[in-house]
Structure 1
């Protein structure tokens, strides 16, 4: 069962959070976007209030679950924007649903799979969490998502996101670490998707390197790089990213 909040009227947009996040991360953006759109902020299965029934899950299975939820809610031709893991899910949805999606947006995300170094890091993280638990992992995970200068100016937000991250279930965290590690290359999905495409990248993003983001630009309708920003542009450059998304949505037919 997908837990969500919705607000506003107009063409639908679905906002998908990232790893160890939940629908609450979109509060500010969704409030503004709801002035012109119907905004759905969801919890992925295994995070927030959405339960994960099994111990393991693939991104393909997540896409099917969300497709079923979209049909149950009667949502027609939504735009889907995902942060990090949420972007991986958005691409899996695009592969499954094709023209049933009006647009997709990758917000500090990528169509590329994990390389071998990243897979090793995922495996080390799995081992660490099994031994030490989620809370200790979250303490070290959240601050580096922000660029170094923003770790000072956004100290309160980091504390808030850390507290939210610690609400993540151990089962959900472990399941998605494996799902992200094992996800396939979806660059062809990105290239061939017929709806409008947005990418927002942080020049100082340590999780999604800017060099990889730039390889998506030729196939994007709207591509933006945020200087001095890490992996959390919706907080590090809140006003600017909101304007980018509003402009992107205004161009969807």
Structure 2
């Protein structure tokens, strides 16, 4: 079962969190946007309160699971906005569903597959988690997602994300690292998807380099760069990120 929250009425918007995150990260955005839209925030399978019933998975299977969830909840023509891993899932859903989606948004994410360097890093992470466990991994993983100059100012938000991240089962962490490492390139999906396309990138993002994000811009309905921001714009530049999302949704 997929755990989710639902707020508001109007056009459906679905928010997907990133790796080792939960639906709670979108609370502020959900509250603000629910005055005009029906806002769904999901826990992806294995994270938060959503169970994972397999030790191995791929993003195509996650997309099918979310499509089934959409049908059960009678959600038609949603706009799906995903952070990082959530963006990879949004692209998999765009490939699967095409015109059944009104739009997709990539929040510090990319349509490209992992390159060899990134795959090597994923393999090292798998080895680290197997040896040291999830808690030690999360403690080292979360802070660098934020630009260095934001880490002290946002230490409360970082502590909360670490707290939620530590609750992620080990099998979920390992299964998704492998799924991200092995995911297919979906840049052609990004280029040819006929719905609305939205992207937010951080100029200091170490997980998705700004040079990579820029390659998506020619095919986006709306593209924004957050200056001096790392991988977590929804916290590092909360008001501006929300403003960009509201402007995109108003036009979509």
Q: Is the TM-score greater than 0.5?
A: yes
Question: Per-residue deviation at 1:136?
Answer: 0.1
Residue equivalent to 1:237: 237
Report whether the alignment pairs 1:163 with 2:163: yes
Q: Distance in 2 between matches of 1:128 and 1:147?
A: 23
TM-superposition CA deviations, 1:65-86 (whole Å, max 9, x none): 0000000000010000000000
- What is the TM-score when the length of structure 2 is the normalising length? 0.99
Question: Per-residue deviation at 1:50?
Answer: 0.5
- What is the TM-score when the length of structure 1 is the normalising length? 0.99
In structure 1, runs of 5+ residues without a counterpart are none
User: Partner of 1:109: helix, strand, or coil?
Assistant: coil
User: Partner of 2:76: helix, strand, or coil?
Assistant: coil
Question: Per-residue deviation at 1:25?
Answer: 0.4
Which aligned runs of 4 or more in structure 1 are off by greater than 4 angstroms? none
Residue equivalent to 1:78: 78
Question: Per-residue deviation at 1:152?
Answer: 1.2
Residue equivalent to 1:90: 90
Q: Distance in 1 between matches of 2:123 and 2:185?
A: 19
Residue equivalent to 2:228: 228
Question: Per-residue deviation at 1:138?
Answer: 0.3
In structure 2, runs of 5+ residues without a counterpart are none
User: Partner of 1:201: helix, strand, or coil?
Assistant: strand
Q: How large is the Cα RMSD of the aligned pairs?
A: 0.4
* Aligned ranges 1:41-120 → 2 under 5 Å: 41-120=41-120
Q: Distance in 2 between matches of 1:61 and 1:69?
A: 12
User: Partner of 1:74: helix, strand, or coil?
Assistant: coil
Residue equivalent to 2:20: 20
Question: Per-residue deviation at 1:183?
Answer: 0.3
Report whether the alignment pairs 1:40 with 2:63: no
User: Partner of 1:208: helix, strand, or coil?
Assistant: coil
Report whether the alignment pairs 1:203 with 2:203: yes
Q: Distance in 2 between matches of 1:155 and 1:68?
A: 37
Q: Distance in 2 between matches of 1:160 and 1:53?
A: 26
TM-superposition CA deviations, 1:40-79 (whole Å, max 9, x none): 0000001000000010110000000000000000001000
Q: Distance in 2 between matches of 1:68 and 1:17?
A: 18
